[in-house]
Structures are given as structure tokens and as C-alpha cells.
Structure 1
């Protein structure tokens, strides 16, 4: 391993230069370095030391091999493609620690996963009701807050024509009494309860910083339209509810890291992240808005195969809104 690190370090110093062997073919290891350097530029990656960069290079190459093998698979098992995106220098464990800290609550719902697509399609993105993709960053397990706040923003536009940007940081910092734990995880329904009782601030007056802060109790909270929330039972309930509003959902995002596009079909149902359901097509394919930036997936979105793929049907809910 030490010899490999030294070799990689030398290659990194070479950078994007081109060496040719006697046959005029680019050296294999240099090709990998060029790929890594191009990726660093694309995602503005900087590392604290040469040692850290060498380690990230090795992790990147392992992930790149996995991604290449997936994309070259001709078995027909997969209906989506992968790419070396912003997560390509993280190990599986590091990715889980940074992004998969969701804390789903146990419920008494029947959680029916029976699913017969009814042929009705809805896409709130195409209808212009969904704001730009956000990015939760890598230092805070805030997927639950982005899910809850995102649904409030989308459904306010659907129901009232109100275009607003609300504060995930407000929910992170101030909904602890409702059972949430800030950047250590939380639950969307508890976030809705907080907004029902206190309202929520605009994102411009309580901006997102991606870390736990002391609750700013004096901030003005003008958004006071939540009167409750509804838990949706199962896949058939989900395809009915999406016709009228977007929904907060819990999903198993363990295998989502390198998703590029297509219909995702490779996951279990251990809920690890909060997300937002924003549509369904006539074949029952779900459209999900996530919070890993617009460079991830299909411009920030992922499509899930019909049925309870990634546990999409297990914990859906939406806030009840009333304009006072």
C-alpha cells in the first residue's frame, strides 16, 4: 500500500500532462489520474493534504471501477446508469455517515405495498410548482428537514399560488421539543407539528448553515398555514395522493450515491433518508426530488420503479394547509 501511495503521489504531481509509451497509447495509470483531475475540477474538490488526496484518489478509482462495471452490464438487470459524481471519493461507510442519518418513527399504519398503477400521471415539476433543487451539504443529516420544508414550499404553490423559500435551518434548530435531533436526524411529521404550532421563517432571514445552531426565537415566522398533517397508507394511497399535492417520503437511499439517470430498481426498504415525491407517470414510475444538488441524478431528481421501490410507500405524509 505504501508503494502504491508513493506512485499515486508522483502521478498526481504529473497532473494532466500526457506521456506516451512506445506504441503511442496513453499510460493506463495516467489515464486514471487525468480522470481524477478532471473530476476534481468539475466538482471543485480540494483536499487538506497530499496524503488525503492520495487516499481519495484510491477510493475514487475503486468507485470508478464499480461504476464502469455497472454501466457495462448487459444482463438487463439494471434499468439505470451511474456516474462518478460528487460522491465518488467517499467510501460506502463515509457516505452513510454523512447522508443517511434519517430517523423514521414507528407507525401503526398498515403499510400496504399492493400496487396497481391506475394510469393517472402527475408531474408537479412540469407544472411549474417545484422550486429549484437544493443541496443539504455534507456536514449535516438534514434530509428530513429538506423533505418537510420542500413539501411546504411546493404545496403552498399548488394550493395558494404562493412562491416562497422557507428555512430548513429554523426547523433544524427549533423543532427539538418535537423529537427531532437537528443534524443528527429527524422526522418530517414532527417538523410539520413544529410549523403548525410556531410557524416557520423565510430562508432569507434564517439561512441554512448546515450545522446545529441555537434556536433563534426572535426571528419573524410569517408562514403559519399548517393546521396538521396526513399520513398516507401504502402504494395505492400514494398514487392517489400525488394527484393533489407533493408528499414527504422516507426512502432507502443507500445505493443512490452514483445514480445518473434511468429508472432506479436496486435498493432495499430500510429507510435512510427523507425526500419528496413530486410525480408519477402512467406506468406507475415515481418521480422523486432529492436534496443533493442539481448535478446529481437527473438534474437533482431520481425515478423509482413502480411499487414499493426503496420503501417509497412506507412513510409518506403531507401537511394540511389553510390560508388564514
Structure 2
């Protein structure tokens, strides 16, 4: 998060000079996020994408109708198509079709955050086996339950974090706030860690440099199809 903050502080000084932004912005981005481009022509290609995405971020943030902000992060030199090819790889047979979003009554009076309670595991950026038996505990994961309704998801999150799938395309530039509009095709796995009357809070595996220290928020209801494909363990 310090890298992203440092970049934005410096960029705040640079925005007053558009020529400086165009000439040196990509270089500063490369330095801040420790980017390397070993292939011939790749740096120029990434520079063009970066400047295009930076302009779109500024346009988004200047729109008073938007409910969340975007920011420069480790993905700003990639296209959405490239990022989808890497991260939108959900492998569930029925996830390839648009989910029929049905309006459900929103149950009020809830405030749960397992991340604040220290109940979600830190992201390690490596493949590991599921922790079915944790030393010092007496519980094991014997099975799991799938759900596809927001009310069921609310019941599940009351017991602990829940694995969900969301339509994440277009959210790579997320910085802060509550997303209210997005697609309906689940494409990426996330961990639901909390809920309030206004939003679901989710953890994404992009490190603390992304979003709200690694987390993002979706408006209550089936925003981004968050309720449509969920799974939680039976302990």
C-alpha cells in the first residue's frame, strides 16, 4: 500500500503539468511498482496502455454519479482482456452463462466483519493445501455447502468467511468505495469476510497494495452476482 500511496502523492504534483505526465508518468509508475519489461517493444506497449488507463481512471473519478473510486495500481499497464485471461478463470460449469439476478428482500440490522476479528487467513501468494486440520484445534472440515441466494449467504457469513464468485471484469482499478453496478457473470473467486446493511466486504488475492488494503465492497443484494455461487465448509 505504501508504493501506491507514494505514487499517488507524487502524481498529485504532476497532474498540474500534462506534458510532464505524458512524458514521465509511465517511468514513475514503472519505478514505483518495480516493473520490468524484458521483451523488445514491451515497454512502449505498456506505456501506451498505462496512459490510456490513467485517463479512464481520471474520467471515472470525475463522474459524480460513481459510487466508488479507481486508482493507479499494479494492473494499470495491462488491458482488461489481459487481466481477465489471468484472473477471470472460474471453472464452474454453469458459471459461463449470465446469472439471472433476482431481487430479494435485504435483511437489515447486520454488522459482521471476520477480517477485523482476525478470522481470515493472510494471503501468501502461493499454492497451498486446504487447512482441514489446524494444530491446536479440535475441528475438521468434513464437507461443504453450496448456496445461490443472498439470504442463504447472509446466514453463512454469520458463521464465518465464505468463498464466493463475482463478476470482477472492470474492477481491477478499484481503489475504494461501494460498487453498485457491474456484470452478472461470475468470473473470479473471492472471500466474503463481512456484511453490513449497506455492503458486502470481500477479500481479493491482489495484496494489500490493491483496493482498500486488499479488500473491496459491493452493495447489498446480488451485486456482481456475489450471492449466486457461494460455498462454505461443514465443520
Question: So what's the TM-score if we normalise by structure 2?
Answer: 0.82
Contact conserved, 1:230 with 1:318, CA < 8 A, in 2?
yes
Structure 1 runs (4+) greater than 6 angstroms displaced: none
CA positional deviation for 1:49: 4.1
- Choose 1 or 2 for highest CA Rg: 1
Secondary structure class of the residue paired with 2:234: strand
1:106: which partner in 2? Answer: 94
Which residue number in structure 2 is paired with residue 149 of structure 1? none
Which whole-Å CA distance do the structure 2 matches of 1:134 and 1:302 have between them? 18
Counterpart Cα distance in 2 of 1:104 and 1:113: 23
Q: Report matched runs for 1:105-184 at 5 Å.
A: 105-106=93-94, 113-135=103-125, 168-170=127-129
Distance 1:319 1:124 in 2: 15
In proportion to residue count, which structure has more helix? Answer: 1
Q: Is the 8 A contact 1:134 1:292 kept in 2?
A: no
Does structure 1 conserve the Cα–Cα contact (< 8 Å) formed by 2:80 and 2:170? no
Match of 1:270 in 2: 185
Contact 1:235–1:308 (8 Å) recurs in 2:
yes
Aligned length: 215
- Distance change in 2, residues 1:118/1:312 (3 Å): same
Q: Is the 8 A contact 1:230 1:317 kept in 2?
A: yes
Structure 1 window deviating more from structure 2 (238-247 vs 59-68): it is: 238-247
2:219 corresponds to 1:229: no
Superposition deviation, residue 84 in structure 1: 1.4
> How far does residue 288 in structure 1 lie from its aligned partner after superposition?
0.3
Using CA pairs under 8 Å that are at least 6 residues apart, name the structure with larger relative contact order, 1 or 2.
2
Separation (CA, whole Å) in 2 of partners of 1:242 and 1:284: 15
Structure 2 stretches lacking a partner, 5+ long: 1-15
How far off is 1:255 after superposition? 1.4
Partners of 1:111 and 1:52 in 2: how far apart? 40
Deviation at 1:278, TM superposition (A): 0.4
Question: What RMSD, in angstroms, separates the aligned Cα atoms of the two structures?
Answer: 2.7
Richer in strand (by share): 2
